[in-house]
A = this chain, B = another copy of it.
Amino acid sequence: MPSFSQKTFALALITILFPLLLPAQNQSAQHPLDALKTQEYWTVYDVLRDSGKIDKDTVTHSVLLHEPAKDKVLTWKAGDPVFREADVILLRKGVTIEALVDITGRKLESWKERKDVQAPVVVSEFRELDEVMKKDPRVIEALKKRGITDLNPINCFADPFGYFALPEHEGHRIMMGGCSDTHGVYFGWSREIEGLQVKVDATEKKVLQVIDEGIIPVSQAPVNYQDLETVPRPGTTPIRITQPLGPSFQIKGSEVSWQNWRFRFRLDPRVGAIVNLAGIQDGDRFRSVLYEGSMSELYVPYMDPAVGWANRVFIDAGEFYATGHVLKPLRPEIDCPSNAVYFDSLAWEEHGFPVIHSQVACLFESYSGDPAWRHFEEHQLSGSGARVLVLRTAAVIGNYDYVLDWRFERDGNLRVAVGATGIIETKAVKAKNASEGGGHGMAGAPDEFGHFVAENTVGVNHDHFFSYRLDVDVDGVNNSFMAMRLVKRQLNNPLRKNIWVVEPSIAKTEKDAMMDIHLEKPAMWHFINSNVKGPLGYPTGYELMPGATAASLLDPDDGPQKVGAFSTHQLWVTPYKQDERFASGVYVTQSKGDDGLAGWTKANRPIENTDIVAWYTLGFHHVTRAEDWPVMPVMWHDFVLRPFDFFPQSPVITLPPAP
């Protein structure tokens, strides 16, 4: 159960705060889908320690709730015992170990050495490799050549490979990196020492190769935005969202109820907020919509073939979550409005001890002044205001911040939004700006693979692809995916040559449901329950409506794209499998891409009238601009699950006018 702190306003101008941090992590789990609790982390630690299999070289890379089989959760009732397990990933001398711990029974269920996979990177590896690199004579020499002898402000870093790139990766934990000069600034972003690349073996803790391609001065792009004077624009008066009587949602354990929505959520250190058992209270009936929804993976390939850049293909969640927690703190009044409540979450450190990450989610009601519906007819003007419940987190993976929203709307819509902000990844170049031979894509131009965002500083082209895993359960577990294709029909009619009609078809197997967006061949994506009919004779359903999105342009058989293969299609549908949770697989570091959506769906399994999972790819190509420097204004993308014949009529029509 997430803890929460709550702020309530008694008056608009006099703010009374009730910071209310419940020690919820210390309670035992109340529901099979609750996040791991403090004592559960300690139990995992104790079981592993007592197993005799741990030694001083064994590092805990991951401790995640092993989510119970769905049938067990659905038959579980309050008061039943809560059976709990944890998936643990350990690394010992280069060998990844996969353990399953029965927390309830306090025993080790399985222990597997996996020489075929690589554990995700942890902070101590980064620290150790920094030291190793800075002690390497070739690195010291290369820095000296650049006039750098004071190594204190130098950070050397090594990035794991997000895909299996080279034969030497077989059985070896190889990383590629370099150093940044943080002198004069707060952090290393934009301060990389280009031209100097270092290949390391993370197991042996040694430098394999130092590549010095010549001196390129470190970028001096202004990046200390903290030091800039903040200037309110003239005449600006305060604005806020106020709820004088407090919020209208209720939180009980990890269950939220708001208006007719009900859902649970937990904050997972790998994929962030996981929404469970979301549905609609329809009179006496609870009607399920989504058994589980979460971001599943994030794929960010850069588009520069240079040494030290070609390898920059980040499978961000799977590669980096073990450095702490994918979610980072939210700042009240910036990230969430003053009527928000906040939630903490637990992760582990490298012994497996629990660590609190504070204020990494917020929940608030939002009202932006928009109507939920309206109609004008002669003298009469009717409608309702639109109020939304927002569950917000921010995933921060190095330079980038992603604001991740689950927005519950009063018309039954469930909107998922991703706001990209943070610091773009840049490369120092010798040319000052585009006047000195600039030209996108032009061979040899300093901005051939990007765009100048500051002097001597090019933001490198890249993509962002998110895979959202949506275990839809519309009015029950067994659903079907129905593509409603809009198809032109020629007419024999004096008034019209043609119209379009809707041709519905239910996907029988996974390949039928791989959907690509084409404006000339539009289709609506429906998840229906053919076992439950609404009053008009149609199956009840929810539609997934994409927003603006993108598809990967890379060849499917190239290494990075094999791991980020989910970006090939905008929609995939699979049968529910307990262990198919991550679109690019469990282990993405140096992955060959066999695990994950593309691999699973090769079997082309049946998906009709069974328990199905939808995977939506939200993506955008990113060519940077001056306005993205030093910090990018939030750019939002979204998609929506909306009821389609789920309600017998408009669900907002009986709401009072006030939002």
Contact = CB atoms under 8 A, between A and B. Distances in A.
Interface majority SS (helix, strand, loop, mixed), chain A: loop
A621 B500 contact: yes
Contacts of A387: 239
Interface in A408-430: 410-413, 419, 421-423
A543 B304 CA distance: 23
A153 interface: no
A356 interface: no
Contact of A550 (B186, B440, B519): B519
A149 interface: no
Interface in A521-552: 522, 524, 533-538, 543, 545-551
Contacts of A28: none
A48 to B, nearest CB: 30
Oligomer copy total = 2
A513 B583 CA distance: 38
Contact of A365 (B239, B365, B504): B239
A441 interface: yes
A603 interface: no
The listed residue with most B CB atoms (<10 A of its CB), out of A548, A630, A655, is: A548
A247 B241 contact: no
Contact of A374 (B301, B375, B401, B560): B401
A516 interface: yes
A499 B304 contact: yes
A386 interface: yes
Contact of A493 (B233, B310, B487): B310
A611 to B, nearest CB: 24
A484 B623 contact: yes
B657 A333 contact: yes
Given A225-B653, A248-B236, A647 B634 contact: no
A626 B655 contact: no
Given A384-B334, A440-B503, A550-B522, A371 B225 contact: no
Nearest to A626: B645
A145 to B, nearest CB: 26
Interface in A290-307: 301, 303-305
Interface string A179-215: 0000000110000000000000000000000000000
A474 to B, nearest CB: 13
B243 A242 contact: no
Interface stretch (A452-460, A571-579, A589-597): A452-460
A114 interface: no
A536 B454 contact: yes
Interface in A610-657: 621, 623, 625-634, 642-657
A438 to B, nearest CB: 6
A259 interface: yes
A104 interface: no
Interface stretch (A269-277, A335-343, A345-353): A335-343
Contacts of A519: 516-518, 549-551, 570
A490 to B, nearest CB: 8
B554 A502 contact: no
The listed residue with most B CB atoms (<10 A of its CB), out of A328, A499, A657, is: A499
Nearest to A549: B519
Given A165-B495, A334-B383, A419-B370, A533 B634 contact: no
24 contacts: A11-B13, A233-B260, A235-B250, A236-B248, A329-B381, A331-B382, A334-B371, A373-B632, A374-B401, A374-B403, A374-B422, A375-B631, A435-B537, A440-B503, A440-B504, A454-B649, A455-B536, A520-B553, A543-B625, A626-B645, A626-B648, A627-B642, A630-B650, A631-B650
